[in-house]
A and B are shown apart, each in its own frame.
Chain A
Amino acid sequence: MKHLKAINKKAQRIEQHIAAAHGDIYALQQGGGSPAARPHYPVGCSIVFSPGWEVDSAGGTAGLCQPAERDLYDCYVTCYWPAQVPDHYNNYPDWTSKCASATKDWRNIDLVFP
C-alpha cells in the first residue's frame, strides 16, 4: 500500500489480508497468485469437470465415468452450495466415512436426523 504504511504486526496482517482480497479470482495456469492468497482454487460441481452420471453411451449405467451411486452424495464436500445433503463443514464431517466405495458401500452412508 502506498498511502498507509504498516507499522506494527497487526497492521502487516491487515495489509496481507487486503492484498489477498485483491487477487480473489485468477487463473491457476498463470501461477496461482500470491502465497497469502491461497487457497483460492475453484471448487464446486459447476467448475469441476464431473462427467455425467445419468446414462452411458449405450444408454445404461455400467459405463459411467463415476458410478450412479455417487449421485447420492456428490454435493457433499465437493460443493459449497447448500444442497439437501448433510453439511460437511460443521455438523456432519463423518457422514460418508463408512462409504469407501460408492457402488458397494452406499448403503452405509449414515442416516441423519437434523
Chain B
Amino acid sequence: MTATVTPLSLGEFHEFRVESVDFLYLVPSGGIFAVSPAGRQAILLLREQPLAADELLAALIDRGYAKDDAEEAIRELFEARAIRDPRGHQDLPQEPVADFPLQSLVLNLTNQCNLSCQYCYEFGEDKVATPDGKPKFMSETVAKASVDHLLASSQGRRAIHITFFGGETLMNFPLLKWVVHYALGKAKEAGQYLDFSLTTNGTLLSPEIIDFLVEHSIGVTVSMDGPKEMHDALRVYANGKGSYDILAPKVKSLIQKHNTRPIAARVTLTQQVTSVKEIFHHLRNEFGFAEVGFAPVTAAPKRLYTIENNNMDRIFEQFKELAVEYRDWAIAGRMHGFSNVSDTLAELHAGINKSHPCGAGLGLVGVGPSGDIAPCHRFVDSDAHALGNVMEGGLDKGKQKEFLDKGHIGAKFDCHSCFARPLCAGGCHHEAFVRYGDTGHPNLHFCDWIRGWTDLCLNIYGEIAVKNPAFLDQFEQRKPLQ
C-alpha cells in the first residue's frame, strides 16, 4: 500500500518584522517566535503553493540551505504548527470548567451619582439598568452576603479582589469602610490575600477618605476626561456645570498623598473629546497620574457623543504616536504610563488566548444594591442580564452558562479567521449589547481598529524584546482581572 503524501500549507499566524528580525505571532496558541532566515524562506515558499515535505526540502536546498538545516527548519515550524497538514481542524480555546472559581467582585455600592455625565452607561440614553423599585444604596446585609459569596466561590484562589463601583462610589463611603474591615477579617480566616480598588469621579474625595485609602492600600481609578474644557464637555453636574474645578484640587491631593498604590486615570473618548496626546500629557504630567487609559464611549450609533469614523482614525493616529513614545521610553527602561499599551503588552507577553473577551460572568461578577448578580458592573441593575441574587441562592449556574456560551469565541463566526482574536475574542459584552442588542455579538465596528492596535503592539513588543528584554520582566506577574 502506498501512502498519499499530504502537501503542507501555512498554519495560522500573523507576521511582523522589527529591526530585521522576523517574528511569528501564532494565532491559535498566542506564542510569539523569532524565525530564522531558513524558516522564513520555508514560509514564503508555502505561501506560493502547498508543497509536500520533500518538495519543500528540495526547494530550500535549491536556495542554498544545507540539508540538515532545512530539514530542521521544516520540522520545527511543523511542530510549532506554523506550517501544517491542511486537513487539520481549526483550534479554538476550550470552554472553561463549569465551576470556574471567582476571583474578582465588583460591588456597586450605590446606583446614585452626583454628576450627570451625558454619556453615562448607567443613566444615559443607552442604559441597560432597570433600577425602578430597587434600593438606591447597598445595605450591609447585601454587602456581607456578596463578600461571603466571593469567599465561598473563590476556593483555591490565593489572591482575590474587590472593586468598589457606583453610581458614584464615594456616595456610600461608610459602607466601603465597613466592607474593607469585614472582608479583610474573612479573607484572613480563609488564608487568602485580598486587595481592593475603587473607581470614582473624584468630586467627593476628602482628607479623611484619602487617609483611609492610603492606609488600606486601596487602588484608585479616577474617571477624568482631560483638561478643563474637554473634561467639562460631558462630565457635568445636573445643572450643567462642569466638574473639573471641583475635582482637580482633590485629585491632586490624592495623588500626592497616596503612596501605597499607583493612581490611574480612565478617560472616555467621545466625538467631542479626541485629543488623546494632549489629554495624556495633561493627566500624566500636570496631575501626576501613574497611568492613563483610554476607551471610546459605549453608545448606539448617532448619539451626539458617539465617535464617528473619521474621528476614530484620528484617535488611532494619536494612539499610535503615544504608543511609539511608550516604546522609546520602554527601550530606555522608563515607565511611560499609557496603560492601553502596557495592558496589551502584558497579554502578549503571557501569550493568552481568550475563550471570552474578559472575565465577566466567569472570574468576575458585579453585584448591585439589590443584591442582583450581574456579569460585570456595566450590567448591574439590569433585570434582563441578572445571573441570580446574593441573598437568594447566589449565582444562577444555568443563566451563567447561557451568558458564557453566547460570549464564547467559538460562537462568534466572524472572528474565526481574525489574527487578533486571542486578545479580542469579539470585544466587550456590554458594547455588543448596546450596539447589536446581543451580548454575544462580535463588535464588528471596531475590527479594523483592534487589528491595527494588535499589530502595532506586536511590533512594539518585538522591538522591546530585541532591544531591552529586561523591561518585559514586569509582565511576568499576571495582573488581577480588572
Contact = CB atoms under 8 A, between A and B. Distances in A.
Contacts of A1: 76, 80
A14 interface: yes
B214 interface: no
Contacts of A4: 24, 33-36, 39, 76-77, 80, 82
Given A10-B29, A18-B80, A3 B351 contact: no
A11 interface: yes
- Counting chain A residues whose Cβ lies within 8 A of the other chain, the interface size class is 10 to 19
Contacts of B101: none
A9 B72 contact: no
A8 B348 contact: yes
Interface string B68-108: 01001100110110100000000000000000000000000
Contacts of A9: 349-351, 476
B422 to A, nearest CB: 9
B349 A3 contact: no
A47 B320 CA distance: 61
Contact of B32 (A2, A3, A10, A21): A10
B29 A2 contact: no
A13 B32 CA distance: 11
Given A8-B348, A18-B79, A3 B38 contact: yes
Contact of B76 (A2, A7, A8, A10): A2
A6 interface: yes
A7 B33 CA distance: 5
B164 to A, nearest CB: 32
Contacts of A7: 23, 32-34, 461-462, 465
Interface string A1-34: 1111111111101100010010000000000000
Interface of B: 23-24, 26, 29-36, 38-39, 69, 72-73, 76-77, 79-80, 82, 348-353, 461-462, 465, 476
Given A2-B73, A14-B29, 4 more contacts: A5-B33, A8-B349, A10-B32, A21-B79
16 contacts: A2-B73, A3-B76, A3-B77, A4-B36, A4-B77, A4-B80, A4-B82, A5-B35, A8-B349, A8-B461, A10-B30, A10-B31, A10-B352, A11-B26, A11-B351, A21-B79
Closest 5 CB pairs of A and B: A10-B351, A11-B31, A3-B36, A3-B39, A3-B73
